[in-house]
Amino acid sequence: MLGILKREEPEKFKGFRSQMEKQAGKPLTPEELIKFFQLADKRMSEFTGLVKGMTLGQAVQVRLWRVDGHMTWRRVTRAAYLEGWFNRGWGPPSNQLLGMSLCEKAAMFFKENFREPPWN
């Protein structure tokens, strides 16, 4: 997957690598980068399960936050956290991957893609 990202979307790959290296506090080897990617993928799967029970009302609110309010994924997550959604079963309160999961699930209610306009 990282190879495809590097080849097809080199700027996104650089951004991902930069973020992971920032979190690690050091340059990462290809093996370490793959490990980070695998951990992120596992966490994203957990969040997909967490938001599975999203209601239509929550989906509408997420769409308002993201599309009309221009909130980042992190801010969407924090807003959901402050609302007490999903028993606040995540951390930190502004987790970017959870924001992506929230937007992805909400967009499905409207037959939209959270990675395309008007979501992104």
Q: What is the pLDDT of residues 43-98, one digit of tens each?
A: 888 888 889 999 999 999 999 999 999 999 999 999 999 999 988 777 788 888 89
* 118 part of a folded domain: no
Rama region for 95: left / alpha / beta (φ>0; ψ in -120 to 50; rest) = beta
**CB-neighbour burial class of residue 12 (10 A; exposed 0-12, middle 13-18, buried 19+):** exposed
* 10 part of a folded domain: yes
Alpha-carbon radius of gyration of the chain? 15
Give dist(CA 17, CA 10) in Å, integer. 10
Number of folded domains that form the chain: 1
* 115 part of a folded domain: no
State yes or no: cis peptide before 92, omega within 30 of 0: yes
* 120 part of a folded domain: no
DSSP state of 21: H
Q: What global pTM score does this model have?
A: 0.74
- Give the position of tokens 């097809």: 8
Q: Which domain holds residue 46?
A: 2-109
* 70 part of a folded domain: yes
* 98 part of a folded domain: yes
